[in-house]
Amino acid sequence: MKKSRTIMLIDMQSFYASVEKARVPSYENKPLVVAGDPERRSGIILAACPLAKAYGVTTAEPLWQALKKFPELIIVRPHMQEYIDVSMQIKRIIESFTDLVEPYSIDEMFADVTGSLHFFDDDPIDLARQIQNKIYLATRVVARAGIGENKVIAKLCCDMIAKKIPDGVFHLQKSELHKYIWDKPIRDMWGIGSRMQKHLWKMGIMTIGDIARTPLFKLRNKWGVNGEVIWRVANGLDDSPVTLAAHNVQKDIGNGMTLPRDYSQAWEIEAVLLDICTEVSRRVRKKGLMGSVVSIGVSGADFDHPTGFHRQTKLDDPTNITTEVYDVAKKIFHRYWDRQPVRRVSVSLSGLSSAESYQLSLFDDKEHQRAIDKVMDDIKDRFGDISILRASSVTSAGQAVDRSAKIGGHYK
């Protein structure tokens, strides 16, 4: 008989806001939010502390809307490098209890503590509280822990129970799903978006328990594999292990950016495309890969009347040469652009393969282009991302200099 595992999903409460309060102690008892820069049109709430949430402030709402609810909010611009550093510190703390730690996001981590329980009298609640306490003493960040026999149950437990109780720790048995989870509305289950919710409502499925009790073939006939996924989640079924390599397989490498204003001129958007293609190609080269599919996405600013497109092109031969990727991206752009103002641009390379062997060409001087890319990569590695730039990057449209000060679109 297969031995039952003990898995935790450890989640950090209001992570960005908690890190800011630890960084500046005078913020401790004040309602604080972390938000993007309003002047760059990215004034969205990224995190709100519990005091701010008490005034109705929610994550992902516009900053102006939050200020209407409580004008005296403390507003802090994100410090992404600090959050990454604290997240890595927390990971190391959890690893002092078990070597099986799998980051799920910057503020959530799975931990398989099956092999550690005998040190804690086989009491996962006690172990979770010790992890909680160690994280708080080191970082001043409050952790919550959902505990179950697999990752799905641990996640459901954390999201729906542990986050909502004072001590933030709960152990959910699979046999108790009907008691604690199944009466919850389907929108509460992670993996169910608003569109899926509407489709399920039309089928008479209102609660997570309704999903669990629906015959699997009905959901599979409707949504294929996705139908089975939501059925398995609702029933707490998951065979995937907590593993260090869970996120190592990469299907594509890409980047996107929201522009500081509407770009209406072709040359402006081309400058942004070149900046993104330069960054994407460099990342692909750094991983020793090439890509055979170039994808580009373009969208406007008006979400009520969306404009733009997302298209891709398959290459004859895989590449990681910046100019080749840019030439393809530019052709896609000019073919599908509707001449409407552009607010967001993204480029990615997929169909990844090893760069150790590639097709030689008698007619294209690709070796010369590879040599140029290598020199530019070496200079950037030694002296920084903006130590060498293409001329278009320093025009009014270029974004390379601004992005060098950011991580994930937010200032470091």
- Nearest in space to 218 (alpha carbons), one of 207, 227, 229: 227
CATH superfamily placement of domain 182-234 = 5' to 3' exonuclease, C-terminal subdomain (1.10.150.20)
Beta-carbon contacts of 56 under 8 Å, excluding residues fewer than 6 positions away, are 69, 70
Per the CB < 8 A criterion, the answer to whether 170 and 33 are in contact is: no
Q: What pLDDT score was predicted for residue 388? A: 64
Between β-strands 74-76 and 32-35, what pairing exists: parallel, antiparallel or unpaired?
A: parallel
> Which ranges of the chain have pLDDT less than 70?
1-3, 37-42, 245-250, 303-304, 357-365, 385-412
- 271-307 confidence digits (pLDDT tens): 999 999 999 999 999 988 889 999 999 988 776 677 8
Provide the residue ranges of all domains of the chain, joining segments of one domain with +: 1-173, 182-234, 252-411
Does the model's pTM come out above 0.85?
no
Strand partners, 310: 297
Closest residue by Cα to residue 136 from 89, 171, 181, 170: 89
Cβ(398)–Cβ(275) below 8 Å: yes
Nearest Cα to Cα of residue 300 among 339, 270, 254, 272: 339
Residue 401 and residue 387 in contact, taking contact as beta carbons nearer than 8 Å = no
The predicted structure's pLDDT at residue 306: 74
Are 155 and 189 contacting, i.e. CB atoms less than 8 angstroms apart?
Answer: no
Residue 327 annotated as part of some ligand binding site:
no
pLDDT at 44: 82
Contacts of 342 (CB under 8 A, 6+ apart): 259, 262, 263, 264, 269, 298, 299, 300, 308
Q: Is 324 a catalytic residue?
A: no
Q: Catalytic one among 108, 270, 279, 324?
A: 108
Q: What long-range pairs does 384-390 form, CB within 8 A, spacing at least 24?
A: 390/274, 390/275, 390/278
Question: In this structure, which CATH number among 3.30.2350.10, 3.30.70.270, 3.90.79.10, 3.40.1020.10 belongs to the domain 1-173?
Answer: 3.30.70.270
**What pLDDT does residue 394 have?**
58
Amino acid at the residue 378: D
Tell me: is residue 11 an annotated ligand-binding position.
yes
pLDDT of res. 366: 74
Instruction: Determine the pLDDT at residue 41.
Output: 44
Q: Which CATH superfamily is domain 252-411 in?
A: DNA polymerase, Y-family, little finger domain (3.30.1490.100)
Query: Per-residue pLDDT tens for 383-398?
Result: 776 666 566 655 655 5
Question: Fold match between 182-234 and 252-411?
Answer: no
Amino acid symbol at 367: E
